[in-house]
Amino acid sequence: MRYKKAVIDSLNLSTFDIENIFSDKKHYIIEPIKTFGVFEPKEWVRTFGKSLKRNIIEAKILHTNTGLTIPLKRFNRSPKNQTIEFAGLHSYKDTSKLLKQVLRDKESQLQDTRLMRIDIAIDYKRFPAKVKKKLLKSREPFVWFNSEYLKTDKEKKTNSYINIVIYDKGIKEGLDYSLMRLEFSFRGSYLKGLHLKDIDKAIKKMEKSIKKIADIDVKIEGLFSL
């Protein structure tokens, strides 16, 4: 059987005060954005190109000595836990290698953090019609700017289980060619009870879900083999 390569593009991890893992001031600086006595929403927009959502009750920026900026958040639904967001682990920019290195360096300390979101990406030079046909059997397309979201009848704007989107990664990253990306975003309700140390178990579960939803036989690369 031939398998299609899939990769982990984004990873959200959560635990109590995750910033303590990055307390080495020689390599990391934590900048408060929304905390007690501090509110700098324009800096968040300047850094990440997105505004602070209302459900974020605390926001900080983790700066690394290699020039990375990584978001740290607390949400109103779980105020005791802090979430770190590694976004763009498999892009076509140099920052991907730097993000992967941070994860490798902190692998042992992050093992007991909860998996809150995993984005699985599958790239195509030409998007297969049979995959789109399969997806549309159970989902309706919703186009927003350059992305096409595939929603079930029960889904609203956001989905705490699985989100599916198709977009041109080439355009998004300024490449000189088109590269269509199919992305499955597995959220907290799907990953409930799993921690980073359970990543292999999560990968097997996601592979089965992708097969069921899109009829694609995929092999997801292991996180620390990236």
The pTM for the full model equals 0.94
Task: Indicate the range of 11-15, 147-151, 204-208, 217-221 predicted with least confidence.
Answer: 147-151
The domain limits of the chain are: 1-10+118-226
The pLDDT tens digits of the residues spanning 138-147 come to 899 989 888 9
At residue 224 the predicted structure's pLDDT band, cuts being 50, 70 and 90, is low
CA–CA distance, 199 with 183 (Å, rounded to integer)? 18
CB 41 within 8 A of CB 52: yes
Angle separating helix axes 199-214 and 129-136, nearest 10 degrees: 90
CA–CA distance, 178 with 168 (Å, rounded to integer)? 6
Q: For residues 175-182, give the mean pLDDT.
A: 92
At residue 75 the predicted structure's pLDDT band, cuts being 50, 70 and 90, is very high
The pLDDT tens digits of the residues spanning 100-110 come to 999 999 999 99
Residues, the chain: 226
